[in-house]
Amino acid sequence: MSTLAKVMSKFRLAVIQLQVSSVKADNLSRARRLVKEAAGQGSKVVVLPECFNSPYGTNFFSRYAEKIPGESTQVLSEAAKENQVYLVGGSIPEEDGGKLFNTCTVFGPDGEVILKHRKIHLFDIDIPGKIRFQESETLSAGNSLSVFDTSFCKVGVGICYDMRFAELAQLYSRKGCQLLVYPGAFNMTTGPTHWELLQRARALDNQVYVATASPARDETASYVAWGHSTVVNPWGDVISKAGPEEAVVYADIDLQYLADVRQQIPITSQRRNDLYAVTSAQEGSS
């Protein structure tokens, strides 16, 4: 392998576990400061949490919603450009045509938007005595798979509940993604058992890196996030993990290691495509 190929096969990823408050301007300025800090540590891809500009909750979405482009995406664009990073801008409540979406925008190092992912699986659950949450009361679902290219590898994007759907990760992997990122905000009921397990499952099933970015835990919020933003490698090992509080966690992504794992355990070529298949209605689109 050439020296250039070797250099390009490794890059640093940063996950920002942001302390999100009810003051949008504070959320934006903290995010901007931490993107700069992450870039200062050599990160090339930086990920913010779900709902990074607003508290998470159906009663907040319409109040904090913005058009895209708008105030929050402008800050993200500038932060990406100033710091020369790919910035996965967590998510924000987006308003478009009278509907609300939970939307992630991704910016390239030139500050241009390169992807917009609207959460495709809305978080509607009801666990008696624990948690009932119905995003569909206020939000509409997106309808597209979302993949973007970097100078290092292809990246697939989902938002939080999207991570529960193994088929989506499998399709992203089949499209050539080597990294899956999920801005997310699990809670104190599902977080302890499901958050890490889902990430390790998606990573191991597909032999990819998986990164999640959660808001920091705020015990006074109406929705208390689990925190614990994580990066998992293609072997299924957790290689970086935050606690509950605000933090930036780093992981060195090694695409040669990913290739080695795939060679050692060649499940992709061993799939019985003659017996089963996961298909997408959007097959052929990127």
Residues at the interface with ligand AKG (CB under 6 A):
50, 123, 160-161, 164, 185-187, 190, 194
Place of tokens 């993949």: 147
State the Cα–Cα distance between residues 16 and 228, nearest whole angstrom.
Answer: 11
Is 46 or 160 the residue whose CB approaches ligand AKG more closely?
160
Closest separation between CB of residue 52 and ligand AKG, Å? 12
Closest separation between CB of residue 40 and ligand AKG, Å? 30
Closest separation between CB of residue 159 and ligand AKG, Å? 7
Per-residue tokens: 225: 């996030």
Q: How would you classify the pairing of strands 86-88 and 99-107?
A: antiparallel
Active site residue 104: no
Closest separation between CB of residue 184 and ligand AKG, Å? 6
Per-residue tokens: 152: 């290092």
Closest separation between CB of residue 174 and ligand AKG, Å? 23
Q: What is the dihedral of CA 244, 42, 47, 131, to 10 degrees?
A: -10
Give DSSP secondary structure letters for 126-153: EETTTEEEEGGGT--------EEE-SS-
State the Cα–Cα distance between residues 56 and 9, nearest whole angstrom.
Answer: 36
Is 85 or 122 the residue whose CB approaches ligand AKG more closely?
122
Beta strands (DSSP E) in the chain are 10-17, 43-47, 86-88, 92-96, 99-107, 113-118, 124-127, 131-134, 147-149, 154-157, 177-183, 209-213, 230-232, 238-241, 247-254
Is 48 or 255 the residue whose CB approaches ligand AKG more closely?
48
Candidates 24, 44, 50, 51; catalytic one: 50
Is 44 or 217 the residue whose CB approaches ligand AKG more closely?
217
Is 61 or 148 the residue whose CB approaches ligand AKG more closely?
61
Active site residue 67: no
State the Cα–Cα distance between residues 112 and 86, nearest whole angstrom.
Answer: 10
State the Cα–Cα distance between residues 44 and 150, nearest whole angstrom.
Answer: 10
Candidates 24, 44, 119, 154; catalytic one: 119
Is 8 or 188 the residue whose CB approaches ligand AKG more closely?
188
Instruction: Give yes or no for a contact between 86 and 109, defined as CB atoms under 8 angstroms apart.
Output: yes
Rounded to a whole number of angstroms, the CA Rg of the chain reads 18
Closest separation between CB of residue 50 and ligand AKG, Å? 6
Candidates 160, 177, 196, 246; catalytic one: 160
Tell me the catalytic residues: 50, 119, 160
